């Protein structure tokens, strides 16, 4: 037997010989987690005691240092998976709480404004996801509580409204060109545009900047100072019927 080999006798079984280089390589593989003790025992037919001797002889651990080797066992992998599952459940729970909070915030804000914000912004939101995100639209339709046909019907409706708005704004420009001082209410009452109500017409005009700047009259027409020049003709007068006293409105002298 050469110096580089060691003889192992296991419970009277057939002798096995491993070179020092082999034992050192396996010890380092086990120490660095590349090979488990269980697999080494099964592959090379040696006992766990022999494996621990190899680790003691050929690894870089100091003699007075106690080393604990954590092998990649099925139990350990199960524990790691359970830890990951618990972390995922925590994250999902936090996200669900955030979703519930935003959902309630939108609902209460809509109640304060008197409109259904979810329904009002639903079409634009679905279109944003359809154009920018690679997601299954059918899933979003279920979340938004609308069918595919219903969504595209709303898209067509909003497109029609946008086209009408362009026409109405052009009409406002045309009217304002000939009547620079005409306000939105008077525009609507005088020209009666079809397909739009008065309030919608005014709101559209305000959004497009057709608000009239209020004119300030710097000419003073009223004096609140009491006059001592004219006597009070009502003093000591008694009235017994209607139309016995006539009072004129405020007037000015030019």
Q: What are phi and psi of 165, to 5 degrees?
A: -60, -40
Mean pLDDT for 153-161 is 85
pLDDT at 165 over 80: yes
pLDDT tens column, 118-130: 777 888 888 888 8
109 and 134 inside one domain = no
Range of the domain at 166: 121-218
- CA distance linking residue 51 with residue 32, whole number of Å: 14
Sign of CA dihedral 161, 165, 166, 170: positive
In terms of domains, do 125 and 214 share one? yes
The per-residue pLDDT of the chain, averaged, comes to 78
**Average pLDDT rounded to a whole number, residues 154-179:** 88
Instruction: Give pLDDT tens digits for 187-233.
Output: 888 888 888 888 888 888 888 888 877 777 777 766 667 777 777 77
Query: pTM value?
Result: 0.39
- Based on the structure, what is the number of domains in the chain? 3
The Cβ of residue 188 has, within 10 Å, a number of other Cβ atoms equal to 20
For the cut 50, the answer to whether the pLDDT of residue 9 exceeds it is no
Residue 160 lies in a domain: yes
**Cα–Cα distance for residue pair 69/67, rounded to 1 Å:** 6
What are 157's two structure tokens? 């409706």
What is the pLDDT at residue 6? Answer: 44
Q: At what angle do helices 148-178 and 198-207 cross, to 10 degrees?
A: 80
């Amino acid at each position: 037997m050469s110096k580089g080999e060691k003889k192992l006798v296991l419970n009277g079984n057939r002798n096995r010989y491993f070179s020092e280089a082999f034992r050192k390589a396996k010890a380092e593989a086990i120490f660095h987690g590349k090979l488990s003790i269980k697999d080494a025992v099964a592959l090379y037919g040696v006992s766990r005691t022999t494996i621990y001797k190899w680790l003691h002889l050929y690894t870089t651990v100091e003699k007075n240092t106690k080393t604990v080797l954590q092998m990649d066992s099925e139990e350990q992998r199960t524990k790691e998976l359970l830890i990951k599952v618990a972390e995922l459940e925590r994250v999902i729970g936090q996200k669900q709480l955030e979703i519930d909070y935003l959902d309630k915030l939108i609902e209460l804000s809509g109640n304060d404004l008197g409109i259904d914000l979810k329904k009002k912004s639903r079409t634009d939101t679905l279109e944003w996801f359809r154009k920018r995100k690679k997601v299954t639209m059918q899933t979003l339709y279920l979340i938004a509580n609308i069918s595919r046909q219903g969504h595209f019907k709303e898209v067509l409706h909003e497109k029609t409204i946008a086209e009408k708005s362009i026409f109405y704004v052009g009409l406002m420009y045309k009217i304002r060109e000939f009547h620079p001082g005409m306000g939105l209410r008077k525009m609507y009452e005088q020209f009666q545009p079809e397909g739009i109500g008065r309030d919608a017409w005014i709101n559209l005009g305000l959004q497009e900047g057709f608000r009239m700047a209020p004119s300030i009259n710097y000419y003073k027409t009223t004096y609140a100072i009491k006059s001592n020049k004219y006597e009070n003709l009502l003093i000591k007068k008694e009235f017994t019927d209607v139309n016995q006293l006539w009072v004129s409105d405020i007037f000015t002298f030019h």
